[in-house]
Amino acid sequence: MIIKKKQSVKLWILVAVIVMFWIVGTGFYRDLSANSAETYKGLKLFSDVIELVEKNYVDPVDTKKLMQKAIQGMVHSLDPHSSLLPPEAFEELQIDTHGEFGGIGIVITMQKGILTVISPIEGTPAYKAGMKAGDKIIKVDGKTTRDMMLWEAVKKMRGPKGIIVVITIMREGSSEPIDFKLVRDIIPMESVKSFVLKPGYGYIRITNFRDNTTNDLADALKELESSDISLKGLVLDLRDNPGGLLNQSIDVSDLFLEKGIIVSIKGRLKRHTKIFRAHPDEIKRNYPIVLLINGGSASASEIVAGALQDHKRALVLGTTSFGKGSVQTVEALRDGYGLKFTIARYYTPSGQSIQAQGIVPDIEVRQKFTDMEDPDEGEDVLFKEKDLKNHLDAEPDKINNSKREPIDKENGKKKPEIHHQRSMHGPLDIEELRSDNQVMRALDILTGYEILKGAGGR
């Protein structure tokens, strides 16, 4: 009897607890349950499909890979910059934002589906061996690069210092493949390069925004500013700069601004909405700046260009930038995976969205090339953010039509920009800069401003 009584009490306590959770739960989780109904149905459908494919597909399937591809497809459907990062890709993304790595020293891209060298980096194994811009990489250590993802190719070429890797390329004018047997070395990634165009006029190129970019830029400015002839003007070159770290673009802008908004980001959640402001600098930089951009200038580059343009701190020259005005975050997942997804949009100090719009230059000047290349050979129309599948609009549910128009136009029509693969990662060469019509136009503007300022002071 005693035992039975205890069992009866325990049973009634259990029933009471269940009823209490049901009463509390139905109120507290009512909205969650309603919103999750469709999600649950979708997951059940997904589970059914996986089970059917596993059991009945003509060939055995790798379920893990199948689910990875399904997740990747789901995330890619959001926008072109959101993706699932396998452990190797997640690791490469983290390496890309730091200052050095073991590798062979080339900057590569996918051009028409073919792994193509943009430029060898000065002083690296690839540079010393004679690899050139435009070389098509067809094999890495004997394995074809056909259908290889860009991050996979990068992963195969990077590695510990002293280890040999064989790169097989096809080069224009050569009928046979060429093998380069390269010994990996530590590759320092310089994101800032500077040069004196002529006494009193400096040139700084920023190739990307990494951990050390602001410090390197401050050092370059200090060197230019401490010259025997005071700095009268600066050409800041952000052409073909694909972006990088948000904090670095803010800090770079802050080097030239004393106050006001640098950039604001607005997301659906309050924690993803922020305003970043400039701070007074110990060093006052009052010299004029001409900032160069083109269709390859994206993301962090556009933040700097938009901030300096809106504050009238720099005259922006070149062609309209890429238009990547969205903010991504990377969340670490289990088993070494990462999820990169979009959380907000960028806005310039004037409130203009960069997304799918780009920064429109104050003066439009298209780059001319003076080398002997056939203008119809090796050229690609440069696709921009607005041309990418599933791209976000400038504003939620609407298009931003408040773009400023450049001063210079060609017959009143906008032509598609042609993208030439001129290296921004090689050594600075005064002859190359002197043959660059955009750089020389910028220099003319700066020297003209100095002449007019002097005339007005008489």
Q: Which two tokens stand for residue 315?
A: 């005259």
Task: Give the domain-ending residue among 188, 220, 252.
Answer: 188
Task: Give the domain-ending residue among 188, 223, 256.
Answer: 188
Give the best-scoring range by mean pLDDT among 110-119, 272-281, 390-399, 446-455: 272-281
Is residue 21 situated within a structural domain? no
Catalytic residue among 191, 194, 299, 353: 299
Does residue 323 share a domain with residue 206?
yes
**pLDDT for the residue numbered 421:** 46
Does residue 358 share a domain with residue 299?
yes
Find the mean pLDDT for residues 112-141: 86
pLDDT, greater one: 152 or 165: 165
Is residue 70 situated within a structural domain? no
Does residue 209 share a domain with residue 108?
no
pLDDT band at 145 (very low <50, low <70, confident <90, very high): very high
pLDDT exceeds 70 at position 7? no
Does residue 364 share a domain with residue 240?
yes
350-403 residue pLDDT tens: 999 999 899 999 999 998 865 544 433 333 345 677 776 778 888 775 544 444
Residue 299 annotated in active site: yes
Max Cα–Cα distance, the chain, nearest Å: 114
Does residue 299 share a domain with residue 172?
no
pLDDT, greater one: 208 or 319: 319
268-288 residue pLDDT tens: 999 999 999 999 988 989 999
252-261 residue pLDDT tens: 999 999 999 9
- Cα separation of 401 and 173, whole Å? 46
Is residue 47 situated within a structural domain? no
pLDDT exceeds 50 at position 182? yes
The residue range of the domain holding 183 is: 89-188
Does residue 291 share a domain with residue 231?
yes
Does residue 180 share a domain with residue 201?
no
pLDDT band at 422 (very low <50, low <70, confident <90, very high): low
pLDDT exceeds 90 at position 134? no
- CATH number for the domain harbouring residue 225: 3.90.226.10
Does residue 300 share a domain with residue 247?
yes
Residue 339 gets which letter from DSSP? E
Residue 281 annotated in active site: no
Task: Give the domain-ending residue among 140, 161, 188.
Answer: 188
Does residue 143 share a domain with residue 289?
no
Q: What is the 3-state secondary structure (H, E, C) of 67-118?
A: HHHHHHHHHHCCCCCCEEECHHHHHHHHHHCCCEEEECCEEEEEECCEEEEE
- CATH number for the domain harbouring residue 179: 2.30.42.10
- Cα separation of 62 and 457, whole Å? 76
Structural domain count, the chain: 2
**pLDDT for the residue numbered 398:** 53
pLDDT exceeds 60 at position 150? yes
Residue 240 annotated in active site: no
Catalytic residue among 79, 135, 237, 310: 310
Residues in contact with 158: Cβ distance below 8 Å, sequence separation at least 6, in sequence order: 92, 95, 101, 102, 103, 184
- Contact call for residues 95 and 101 (beta carbons, < 8 A): yes
Does residue 274 share a domain with residue 138?
no
pLDDT exceeds 90 at position 111? no
Give the distance, in angstroms, between the CA of residue 306 and the centroid of all CA atoms in the same chain. 16
Q: How many alpha carbons lie under 13 Å from residue 330 in its C-beta half-sphere?
A: 19
Is residue 60 situated within a structural domain? no
**pLDDT for the residue numbered 413:** 45
Residues in contact with 443: Cβ distance below 8 Å, sequence separation at least 6, in sequence order: 197, 198, 201, 233, 235, 290
Of the candidate ranges 51-60, 67-76, 310-319, 440-449, the one whose mean pLDDT is the lowest: 67-76
Does residue 413 share a domain with residue 337?
yes
**Full-model pTM:** 0.74
pLDDT averaged over the chain? 81
pLDDT band at 100 (very low <50, low <70, confident <90, very high): low
pLDDT exceeds 80 at position 86? yes
Does residue 276 share a domain with residue 388?
yes
Is residue 285 situated within a structural domain? yes
Is residue 15 situated within a structural domain? no
Is residue 263 situated within a structural domain? yes
